Amino acid sequence: MLLAIDVGNTNTKFAVHDGADWRGQWRSSTDSSRTADEYGPWLSQVMAMNGLSFESLSACVISTVVPQALFNLRNLSRRYVGVEPMVVGDGDLELGIAVRIDKPSEAGADRLVNAIGAFIEYGGPAIIIDSGTATTFDIVGADGAFEGGIILPGINLSLQALHDAAARLPRVEIKDPGLVIGKDTVRAMQSGIFWGSIDMIEGLTRRIRAEYGAPMIAIATGGVASLFEGAFSDIEHFDQDLTSRGLLEIFRRNGGVL
């Protein structure tokens, strides 16, 4: 079985695939100082809840946007899985995706992995809206190439900035407040974040489609995306397995067999 590890700025996702299906997926807060021996017992326990163990794993693939976390996760794979992991970004790893931007080296590993996962499942052209620490819009061409996109602050980051910069504004839960016009501070903030985020995402999606000049599938993913499911009119798919699917495909493209 394959252990796929996706390290984001806020959360790290661990997923196990048996060659046919995903057997389990778990999230941990990203902490670059967390050692392999701290990850090991926690991961052993959550895998056991799904009837899995380290002995059932035979391979590991890692994607990270936090370089400082890689050393400990390599050690996790070596010490507990017993294999040298495939790491997205290593020079000898073939992604099998064309990168059509001015500086290909600047394309983040997570964005390329998402592009691969989206193309495998939905084809292209496509727009991937990934709502995490940052909100990114990534463009996948008709042939699966990564063709650029948009990066802006994520929803939680925007809320945190609002709270930090305005002493009297509280921390609020991200939720549909019902009405657009808030009758108190909390509901006014919730409306601004919820409806403002929806209008921003739908507006940019429309602009991308108009500029691209061809029909495009829109796919939402990321830790915050599920909060908005059902509220968008311009997004066809909500898919929380996009990155894991991309990592599985990269594993296969580099000779991995389960």
Residues annotated as catalytic (active site), given as ranges: 110
The 8-class DSSP code of residue 85 comes to P
Structure tokens at 43: 């991961």
Asked if 190 contacts 174 with a C-beta cutoff of 8 angstroms, the reply is yes
Q: Which helix (H) or strand (E) holds 117?
A: helix 109-122
DSSP-H helix ranges across 166-241:
185-212
Q: What does the DSSP assignment read for 116-158?
A: HHHHHHH-SSEEEEEESSEEEEEEE-TTS-EEEEEEEE-HHHH
Polymer length in residues for the chain: 258
3-state secondary structure of 126: strand
